[in-house]
Amino acid sequence: MSFSGNKAQYLAVTALIVSMIIWSVSGIAIKQALLVFPPFTMIVLRFVPSVLLMFLIGLICRKSPLFGLQRLHWRDLPFFLIAGFCQPFLYYLLETFAYDALNSPTIAETLLSTSPLLSPIFAAALLRERVTKYNIIGILISTLGVFALTLIGAKDYSIGSYWGILLAFAAVSAAVIDSIMMRKVPMRYSSLSFIFYAQLVSLLFFLPIWGWKEGTTALMAIEWSTIETQTALGCIAYLTIFASVIAFILFCYGLRKTSVTQANAFNNIRPAFTALWMFLFFGEHLPLGKWVGMILIIFGIFVCQKKEKIADY
C-alpha cells in the first residue's frame, strides 16, 4: 500500500494509527486497574461489558458495513474459535508467564514488541501473502527503533529463565495468528462482527479460570467507595470502550484493507506513543537515543507501506 493511494487506503492507515494510539495507553490503564482488581477479575470486568456493548451497537447499526452484526455461519466457527483462543486469551496468559520468567520488564517489553518480525513469516506461510523488500526493510528499521526506545536507559538487561523468551515469542505468535484469522474470515462479516465473536469466545475461556482462581470472592473483597477503586474502574471503562471495542474494530478494518505484514508493522508505534505519554503527562525523561528510536519507528512504518514498482519484480 502506498500513501499516494486512494481514500480507502488513507482511511485504513488512519484506522491503524488511531488503534495504536488507543492501545498505547492500555498498558498504563491496566497497571492502574491491577492495583485494585486481581488479573482475571479485571479481565472479566473489561470484556463482559465490551461484548454486551458490541452486541448493542451491532443490533442498532445492523446495515452498517463496519458496525453491523451478522449472524454466525457454523462453517466459519473455526476462524472465530482460533481467533478468540489466540487473543486475548492465550496471549494474555503467555504474556503474564513471560513477564514472570524474565528478570527485566524492559527485556520482556522488547520481546513482546516483535510481532512485525514474525508477521511476514506467518502471512507468507498461511495466507500466501507476498512480502516485498520494502516490507522487510521497513520492519527491520522500525524494530531497530523499538529496541532503541526500550533498551536505551534501561537499568536491567539480565534475561532470567530462557523459558521466558520462548513464552514471549509464543505470545507474539498467538497475536499474529489472531490477525491472520481477521484476513481469513469471509468479508461478509463486518469488523465489529469479527471482534464480537472472537471476544465472546475469549470470554468463555476466561470465565471458568476466573471462577476457579478468583470468582465472586474477589469482587466482595473490594472496597468500592475508595478513590483508588473509582480510578481503577475508570481505567477499566477506558479499556472496555476504547481498547477492547473501538481500537480492535479499527485495527480489524485497517488490516483487512491492507495486509497482515503491513498492519502489524504499526504495532511498533505503540511503545513510541507510550513513551511520549509518559514524557508529557508523567514527566519521564526521554534521552536523545529514545527520540532517535521514535524517528526510526515512524520512518520504518513509511518504508514498510511503500509499494514495489513493476520494474522491481
The answer to whether position 101 is within a domain reads yes
The pLDDT score that the predictor gives to residue 313 is 34
**What are 127-185's pLDDT values in tens digits?**
888 888 899 999 999 989 888 887 777 665 566 677 888 998 999 999 999 999 999 99
The answer to whether position 100 is within a domain reads yes
In total, how many domains does the chain have?
1
Is 106 a residue whose pLDDT tops 70?
no
CB 116, CB 267: distance < 8 Å: yes
The answer to whether position 143 is within a domain reads yes
Distances (CA, A) of 173 to 48, 94, 146: 25, 10, 18
Average pLDDT over residues 78-95: 93
The answer to whether position 2 is within a domain reads no
The answer to whether position 108 is within a domain reads yes
Percent of the chain residues past pLDDT 70, beyond the cut: 93
**What are 215-273's pLDDT values in tens digits?**
999 999 999 999 999 999 999 999 999 999 999 999 999 999 888 998 999 988 888 88
The answer to whether position 1 is within a domain reads no
For residues 161 and 107, what is the distance between their CA atoms, to the nearest angstrom? 12
Query: In the chain, which residue ranges form alpha helices assigned H by DSSP?
Result: 7-33, 39-60, 77-84, 91-101, 105-111, 115-126, 133-151, 162-184, 191-213, 215-220, 227-238, 247-257, 260-265, 269-282, 288-305
State which residues form the domain around 106.
Answer: 7-308
pLDDT band at residue 311 under the 50/70/90 scheme:
very low
State pTM to two decimals: 0.87
pLDDT band at residue 1 under the 50/70/90 scheme:
very low
**Whose CA is closest to 30, among 116, 88, 115, 85?**
88
Could you tell me the end-to-end alpha-carbon distance of the chain, in angstroms, rounded to an integer?
Answer: 16
The pLDDT score that the predictor gives to residue 2 is 45
pLDDT band at residue 105 under the 50/70/90 scheme:
low
Average pLDDT over residues 78-103: 89
For residues 69 and 191, what is the distance between their CA atoms, to the nearest angstrom? 9
Instruction: Provide φ and ψ at 93, rounded to 5°.
Output: -65, -45
The answer to whether position 111 is within a domain reads yes
The pLDDT score that the predictor gives to residue 199 is 96
The answer to whether position 219 is within a domain reads yes
